[in-house]
Amino acid sequence: MSTSENPFGQVLVALVTPFTADGEVDWNDVEKHIDRCIQDGADGIVVTGTTGETSTLTDPEKLKLVEVAKSVSAGRAKIITGGGSNETAHAIELYKASEKAGADGIMIVTPYYNKPTQAGILTHFRMVADSTDLPVILYDIPGRTGVPIAYETILRIAKHPNVRAIKDAKGDFSQVSRVLNQTDLLYFSGDDANVLPHLSIGATGLIGVTANVASAPYRTIIDAVNASDLATATAAHQALEPLVRAIMTHVPGTVAAKYVLHGLGRISSPRVRLPLVGPEEWEAAQIEDELALVGAIDGVDFKNFRPDRNAAAGGALPKVAGTTR
């Protein structure tokens, strides 16, 4: 698939933002983690999204994440900035600044907490898309925003020339098919457990949390689907299943991903920022029980997994408060 058809890539990592033990961004770990994901097969990196703890990042941190990711990728992967804001004016300014910082695309989440009508959602998307020349991914995640993007709204905003794709995290496969039939939007699976089912009905790729830990198997799935090799794609999907369960079912994906990455020695601290906290003892035990079921996966060796429940406990208050409304 050429970049003219798809400006985002197909294996996109919803990147965690590594922090130090006191909750400040660990820029050395950020660089190492991005490089590792790209080496393992990611061709797109989404910074400052939900998994990147955008709600507790400052605007300067968000923009620096774009700059650092752009530098580390050195053309090997597209850099997409996520997050945004539930205030349209703030979202516009943040995305304009992200474009100047070098982002290759933007991902606009449905305004959260406000619970706007579909007319308000449509206006928000249009105004943000009007403010940039970058290709846009819509992000539909009603479990976090409180409001789904209605099918009719997707059809209307899909006519905007900058809106190129949608990330679906609500699992409505019938709507996926309808949108693919009636628009030119690229579809990205935003549900780690359903990546292969989404691809099987025409999705372009994934924006995944578990890909922080294991990008290579998702590369295998994408390449196999592109080659019409269902058997290889299915085998990789099945091998990932216990890891996806470990990351996505017991605590927020960010928390579990950092816990696992730290246990593998890939980041220096599993710290998250409040109000997120690390897994409690029983939650950590559940994550570890799931990981014990993981077999051979490209790029990950759980024989070297050394979890540290004490390091993960609690959450951090950074020195400067975040600016996302």
For 261-312, write each residue's pLDDT tens digit. Answer: 999 999 999 999 999 999 999 999 999 999 999 999 999 999 989 999 999 9
Identified catalytic residue from 167, 218, 258, 259:
167
Band the pLDDT of 323: cuts 50, 70, 90: confident
Q: Is residue 139 among the annotated active site residues?
A: yes
**Would you state the pLDDT for residue 84?**
86
Total number of residues shown for the chain: 325
Q: Is residue 113 among the annotated active site residues?
A: no
Q: Which residues are annotated as part of the binding site for pyruvate? A: 51, 207
**Would you state the pLDDT for residue 171?**
83
Give the orientation angle of helix 88-101 with respect to helix 118-130, to 10 degrees: 30
CA dist., res. 24 & res. 181, Å (int): 45
Residue 118 lies in a domain: yes
Residue 89 lies in a domain: yes
The domain in which residue 193 lies consists of 11-229
List, in order, residues 6 or more apart from 216 with CB less than 8 Å away.
40, 41, 297, 298, 299, 300
**Would you state the pLDDT for residue 270?**
98
Task: Report how many domains make up the chain.
Answer: 1
Whether the pLDDT of residue 1 is over 90: the answer is no
**Would you state the pLDDT for residue 87?**
96
The answer to whether 65 and 53 are in contact (CB under 8 A) is no
Q: How far separated are the first and last CA of the chain, in Å rounded?
A: 37
The domain that contains 154 carries what CATH number?
3.20.20.70
Residue 163 lies in a domain: yes
Q: Which residues are annotated as part of the binding site? A: 51, 207
How is the chain split among helix, strand and coil, in percent rounded to 5? 45, 15, 40
Query: Could you read off the pLDDT of 158-185 as tens digits, one per residue?
Result: 999 999 999 998 888 999 999 999 999 9
What b/e readout covers 160-194, taking b as 16+ CB neighbours within 10 angstroms? bebbbbbbbbeeeeebbeebbeebebbbbbbbbbb
**Would you state the pLDDT for residue 172?**
87
**Would you state the pLDDT for residue 152?**
96
> What's the maximum distance between 2 C-alpha atoms anywhere in the chain?
52
**Would you state the pLDDT for residue 3?**
42
- From residue 285, alpha-carbon distances to 28, 53, 83 in Å are 29, 24, 31
Identified catalytic residue from 112, 139, 218, 259:
139
Q: Which residue has the higher pLDDT, 298 or 4?
A: 298
Whether the pLDDT of residue 222 is over 50: the answer is yes
Residue 171 lies in a domain: yes
Q: Which two tokens stand for residue 89?
A: 């004016």
